[in-house]
Amino acid sequence: MKSEDHIGYQLVVGLEVHIQLLTESKLFAADTTVYGQPPNSNVSVITLAHPGSMPKLNKKAVEYAIRMGLACNSEISSYCIFDRKNYFYPDLPKGFQTTQDKTPICMEGEVPVPLKDGNEIVVKLNRIHLEEDAGKSIHDEASGDSLIDLNRAGVPLIELVTEPVIHSSDEAMALLTEIRRMVRYLDICDANMEQGSLRCDANISVRKAGSSELGKKVEVKNMNSIRNVGRAIEFETNRQIRLIENGEKIISETRLFDASKGTTSGMRTKEELNDYRYFPEPDISPFQVSEEWLDEIKMNMPATPRQLRRKLTSRYGLSEYDAMVLTDKKEVALFFEKTCQKTKHFKQVANWVMGPIKSILNERSKDVTEMPLTEDQLADLVNEVASGGVNSSVASKVIFPALINQSRSLKETLDELNLTSDSPDELSDVILQVVDAFPEKVKAYRNGKKNLMGMFMGEVMKQTNGTVDPKRANELLRDALDQLN
């Protein structure tokens, strides 16, 4: 049962999205952030918290955080400090996490989120702050041992915290999908949830419909896909409503999600803010974001998915659906735009990208940047079809496969396949030959059997190997037959 179907109750969700930044080094150390290295190889005295080692802030990480804030219409803080968040954390050798409490780099903001039904919601943000990631604990059930890999410890994160304004699992999944698009468009994160570079915790509560008071929230962790976030919200909503209906209390706690079972289980009682004992980090100086630097970042901001969707509908005249499909991946949207710089047939380009091109990419498990077909080749092919040089069927079934399997121009491909478009005179000659070859059929046509037009067209297409534009051939053939009356 969907959470929005629970009559008498309202689901309230706030998300905490952890976005691992694509910097080459960690937030406070020069250690590399390359994924997949041998355990505990991306470490140094700073990561290992050796006495006397001093952290140094990564400026690129701050820039990436500001990019996300600008994309979300947040207020960028001009003065920031870092804080120590104290709690037992075996994955951080320091025993605390360096984060931002009182002065987040980005305050408030919003994310407009397109939904499957074509509507849009606007999710309000509380903050976006910078912090360091923790290492990874690996628990070996066979031996009972716990192993720790500190390669990830100190990797820069931004944590995007929404207000509790999400009211269905579908809205939560749509928000995460849009955030994943945004960070990829901004080039600040690869958003690979399987590798942990994009992670999400969901704060979930339910309340009686019509009530303005928030219920007891439960935080669910350990979700490695957008679908699992939705599944966890659905399970937790049902669980909490059952407790309320049975007269039991909901405990404010942190729970883990088991993807194999689709269930959550208690991990620990939820910490209160005073449990963290925040205080300013004395080893890192406050930093300021100057107006000049902020203006420079604004000048170099990539377009967001929403901005490109608007551009595709306004400048190129595409439907909202087409714009949504084309902007799902940044590389595809850029490929479409570059192709449209070389042709005016924008809708035809969209059809090619969403049709044959998407199919071949899915078939080969490739990205559009890895496809041999260039923007110039696609534009030439679109223009050739639009001008009537070749028909769309031959273009998609013969010419397109030839283009993607060899590095040749459209003209060279047409010549090799003997598909060079016929001139009007050449096509007229073919039509006259066909008409002359079937005098009895011509007589029947003239006597009212207009359905013979299909037979004549079939012969014309056979004679031209199907390379001519059917519409143009049909017009010339009809003229030729009518002139014989």
Q: 123 — phi, psi (to 5°)?
A: -95, 120
Look at 17-26, 150-159, 197-206, 459-468 and tell me which has the smallest mean pLDDT.
459-468
Kindly give, in sequence order, each residue whose CB lies less than 8 Å from that of residue 115, ignoring residues fewer than 6 positions away.
121, 170, 171, 174
* Contact of 404 with 371, CB cutoff 8 Å: yes
Task: Give the largest CA-CA distance in the chain.
Answer: 103
Query: pLDDT digit string (tens) for 75-126?
Result: 999 999 999 998 777 788 888 999 999 999 999 999 999 998 888 999 999 9
Q: Residue 385 pLDDT > 60, yes or no?
A: yes
Choose the most confident range, by mean pLDDT, from 39-43, 263-267, 465-469, 480-484.
39-43
Mean pLDDT to the nearest integer, 349-358:
94
- The residue ranking higher by pLDDT, 408 or 287, is 287
Task: Give me the sign of the Cα torsion angle 66, 70, 73, 79.
Answer: positive
Q: Please tell me the distance from the alpha carbon of residue 407 to that of residue 195, in angstroms, as a whole number.
A: 35
- The residue ranking higher by pLDDT, 481 or 201, is 201
Domain with CATH 1.10.10.410 in the chain: 424-483
Which pLDDT score, from 0 to 100, does residue 4 have?
46
* DSSP type of residue 58: -
Q: Residue 3 pLDDT > 60, yes or no?
A: no
Mean pLDDT to the nearest integer, 292-308:
96
The Cβ-side half-sphere exposure at 447, using a 13 Å CA radius, reads 6
Which pLDDT score, from 0 to 100, does residue 425 have?
60
Q: 418 — phi, psi (to 5°)?
A: 55, 45
Q: Residue 472 pLDDT > 50, yes or no?
A: yes
User: How far is the CA of 132 from the CAs of 29, 154, 182, in angstroms?
Assistant: 11, 5, 21
Please identify which residue in the block is written with the tokens 């952290």: 55
Q: Confidence band (pLDDT; 50, 70, 90) for 308? A: very high
Share the mean pLDDT of the chain: 89
Question: What angle do the packed helices 375-386 and 330-340 form, to 10 degrees?
Answer: 50
Q: Confidence band (pLDDT; 50, 70, 90) for 419? A: low
Q: Which fold has domain 424-483?
A: Arc Repressor Mutant, subunit A (1.10.10)
User: How far is the CA of 258 from the CAs of 66, 298, 384, in angstroms?
Assistant: 34, 41, 54
